[in-house]
């Protein structure tokens, strides 16, 4: 699969995906494009250093979210992108992108959804006092962190955890889980049947 990664910030998951690809662990997946809504973000530098083309657009420069996304979709189609991988992309997706890419957009979130959707999932988990949180990879729909779950992995919360220490362990799990799911998707093992993700061996 030809992959576009969407990211707004640091891009450590983007970097982990590139590393996995370089290590031969992305199966038939190839990262062909970075899309970012924040041209000044660190992730844009990472793409440049890795020699991956980047589409850097400011949503404010467009009259509507739909026109912003239409420009992205045109670029995805030009590059024959088959899978959209959201990795810290801080925007909701509209039907302009969802419709042509139905069942082909995935996201990673640092909690066991449906717990702690939205911003600062790690802080939310600490505030609530749960003893187990984790990482979810899911198909994207129009909501915030709401689509069908593909894979989840638990991370124990320790009594002495701070937001930093817990985030560190959660990120390590993300860097393993996301390449695994992308590789399985590229191998045709992950599908969507109505509201449920299907995973075959």
Which parts are annotated binding residues?
11-13, 65, 90-93, 107
Distance CA 94, CA 142 (A): 6
Question: Annotated catalytic, 109?
Answer: yes
- Select 49 or 66, whichever has its Cβ closest to ligand GRF: 49
Q: Is 109 in the site for ligand GRF (CB under 6 A)?
A: yes
SS3 content of the chain, % helix, strand, coil (to 5): 35, 25, 40
Query: What residues numbered 73-102 form the site for ligand GRF, per CB under 6 A?
Result: 87-88
Binder among 110, 134, 147, 179 for ligand GRF (CB under 6 A): 110
DSSP 66-93: HHHHHHHHHHHHHTT--EEEESS--SPP
Among 1, 13, 133, 183, binds ligand GRF (CB under 6 A): 13
11 binds ligand GRF (CB under 6 A): yes
- Site membership for ligand GRF, residue 174 (CB under 6 A): yes
Could you give the residue numbers annotated as active site? 109
């Amino acid at each position: 699969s030809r992959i576009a990664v969407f990211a707004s910030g640091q891009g450590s998951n983007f970097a982990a995906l590139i590393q996995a690809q370089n290590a031969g662990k992305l199966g038939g997946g190839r990262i062909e494009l970075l899309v970012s809504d924040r041209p000044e973000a660190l992730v844009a530098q990472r793409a440049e250093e890795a020699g991956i083309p980047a589409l850097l657009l400011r949503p404010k420069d467009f009259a509507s979210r739909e026109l912003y996304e239409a420009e992205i979709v045109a670029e995805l189609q030009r590059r024959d992108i088959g899978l959209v991988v959201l990795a810290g992309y801080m925007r909701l997706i509209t039907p302009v992108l969802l419709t042509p890419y139905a069942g082909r957009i995935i996201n990673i979130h640092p909690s066991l959804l449906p717990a702690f959707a939205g911003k600062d999932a790690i802080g939310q988990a600490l505030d609530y006092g749960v003893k187990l949180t984790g990482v979810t990879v899911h198909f994207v729909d129009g909501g915030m962190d709401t689509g069908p779950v593909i894979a989840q992995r638990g991370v124990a919360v320790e009594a002495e955890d701070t937001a930093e220490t817990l985030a560190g362990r959660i990120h390590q799990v993300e860097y393993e889980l996301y390449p695994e799911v992308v590789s399985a998707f590229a191998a045709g093992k992950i599908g969507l049947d109505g509201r449920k993700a299907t995973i075959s061996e």
